[in-house]
Amino acid sequence: MRKFLVALVIVAFGWVVITVTGTAQDKAKYTTKEVMQKAHKGGLAKKVAKGEASAEEKKQLVELYEALAANHPTKGDEASWKEKTAELVTAAKEAAEGKPGAADKVNAIFMKCMGCHQAHKGK
């Protein structure tokens, strides 16, 4: 009986450890709200779109958009979310790499904000 209880405690402890570490790994670095505050309301995406951002700011936009893509939508289809956020990440990476026309691509996507908001923004 004692061996059974010890085994049960070990299994329960292992389950808790796996659950906690799994949740921590799945969590994005920034929430969707934080990304919107920093990238859009803070003007970072607009600065990149105008071609006025430094290399560090472009890198930060990539990081923010990658975190956005790692999050889940408040509402709407997960596949649509992945498609829209992948488009943002690609445009930001191209801008960070200095590809011609990348700033215009960021601007075009940035200007379509209501498409994402109508499909995925909650309250």
| Per-residue confidence band for 5, with pLDDT thresholds at 50, 70 and 90 | low
DSSP assignment letter at 47:
H
Given a cut of 50, whether residue 25 has pLDDT beyond it is: no
Kindly list the distances between the CA atom of residue 100 and the CA atoms of 37, 62, 91, 95, 110, in Å, as whole numbers in the listed order.
27, 17, 11, 8, 17
Given a cut of 90, whether residue 67 has pLDDT beyond it is: yes
Cα(118)–Cα(116) distance, integer angstroms = 6
pTM score: 0.74
Given a cut of 70, whether residue 20 has pLDDT beyond it is: no
Instruction: Give the start-to-end residue ranges of the domains of the chain.
Output: 29-120
Q: Helices (DSSP H) in the chain: which residue ranges?
A: 2-26, 32-35, 44-49, 55-70, 78-97, 102-110, 113-120
Given a cut of 50, whether residue 123 has pLDDT beyond it is: yes
Give residue-wise pLDDT tens across range 34-50: 999 999 899 999 999 89
Contact 96, 59 (CB under 8 A): yes
For residues 30 and 18, the model is more confident at 30
Cα-Cα end-to-end distance for the chain: 53
